[in-house]
Amino acid sequence: MRKVFQAELHQVGEELIQIATLVQQALASARTAFLDADIQVAEEVISNDARIDFLQNDLDERSIDILALQAPVASDLRMIVGALRMSASLERMGDLARHLAQLARLRFPEPVLPESMRGHFEQMFDIDLKLLTRMISVLEDRDISEADEIFVLKSELNLKHQQVFEMLAAPDWDSSVPTAVDVTLASRYLERIGDHGVSVARKVSYLVTGDWAPVSDTHPTGHGHIGADAGE
């Protein structure tokens, strides 16, 4: 019976990684749709978000079943509670990627951004994609020492987000009010994706250590997928 329980925990961890990978793919595609006014790619991102939602619901139902039937304690309980909270963050990241694609669809065939801001948003997308790569690595390896890079990337993203408001307030800003709204929303979506990535990293730290301290304050190491050896 214990082997079945551990297999179920491992499956939960694998599903978290699967959802995180789909989110990364969604954001990469949203980048193309948003920056290049690619309506076909935008439609794909929007429709594919249902897959992320389905997987999140499935993972949550599986986790609740484990709580009800197995009554886990200690690290096993942390695993299940953490998975429920991480799945919500991942699903929200997928929604934010969808929102970026929806902006591209809304303004098609025109681009969302004025050309002067394209390079800035390319950098914001790239930071988020790097952050997602690190987040997936943390989910796979449970090596919290890697998570410090997530905090560095989030600091860079915060700066880029603040610079967007400075650009909008600059005397030479001459685009329309709808464009200013779109730019503000897009920057906020990208900044929030980073927030959720940090949240996932902190929850992995909680799984590994049992301590809700910020990831940057602890440097435990661990190996294997999130679900692996969860009972140790």
Residues 61-81: tens digit of each pLDDT: 988 888 777 766 777 777 888
Q: How many CB atoms lie within 10 A of CB 85?
A: 15
- φ/ψ region of 210 (left if φ > 0, alpha if ψ in -120 to 50, else beta) reads left
Contacts of 126 (CB under 8 A, 6+ apart): none
Contacts of 39 (CB under 8 A, 6+ apart): 33, 104, 105, 108, 109
- Of all residues in the chain, the percent with pLDDT exceeding 90 is 68
pTM of the shown model: 0.87
Q: What is the pLDDT of residue 70?
A: 73
Cis bond leading into 109, ω under 30°? yes
- Separation of alpha carbons 150 and 215, rounded Å: 10
How wide is the angle at C-alpha 218 spanned by C-alphas 213 and 223, nearest 5°?
110
Residues 4-26: tens digit of each pLDDT: 667 787 888 899 999 999 999 99
Residues 101-136: tens digit of each pLDDT: 999 999 999 999 999 999 999 999 999 999 999 999
Mean per-residue pLDDT for 40-59?
A: 97
Specify the range with the lowest mean pLDDT, choosing from 15-29, 39-53, 194-208.
194-208
- Separation of alpha carbons 127 and 142, rounded Å: 21
Which amino acid is residue 57, in one-letter code?
A: N
Compare 217 and 31 and report the one with higher pLDDT: 31
Mean per-residue pLDDT for 187-204?
A: 95
- Separation of alpha carbons 174 and 124, rounded Å: 22
- Separation of alpha carbons 232 and 227, rounded Å: 11
Q: What is the pLDDT of residue 175?
A: 94
Q: What is the pLDDT of residue 213?
A: 53
Q: What is the pLDDT of residue 205?
A: 82
User: Could you give all domains of the chain from N- to C-terminal order, each with its CATH number?
Assistant: 1-209 (1.20.58.220)
- The answer to whether 98 and 26 are in contact (CB under 8 A) is yes
- The answer to whether 139 and 16 are in contact (CB under 8 A) is yes
Going by C-alpha positions, the residue among 202, 15, 182 that lies closest to residue 100 is 182
- Separation of alpha carbons 121 and 164, rounded Å: 9
pLDDT band (50, 70, 90) for residue 210: low
Residues 131-183: tens digit of each pLDDT: 999 999 999 988 877 788 999 999 999 999 999 999 999 999 999 999 999 99
Residue 228 has pLDDT above 50, yes or no: no
- φ/ψ region of 143 (left if φ > 0, alpha if ψ in -120 to 50, else beta) reads beta
Residue 217 DSSP class: G
Q: What is the pLDDT of residue 2?
A: 65
Q: What is the pLDDT of residue 124?
A: 98
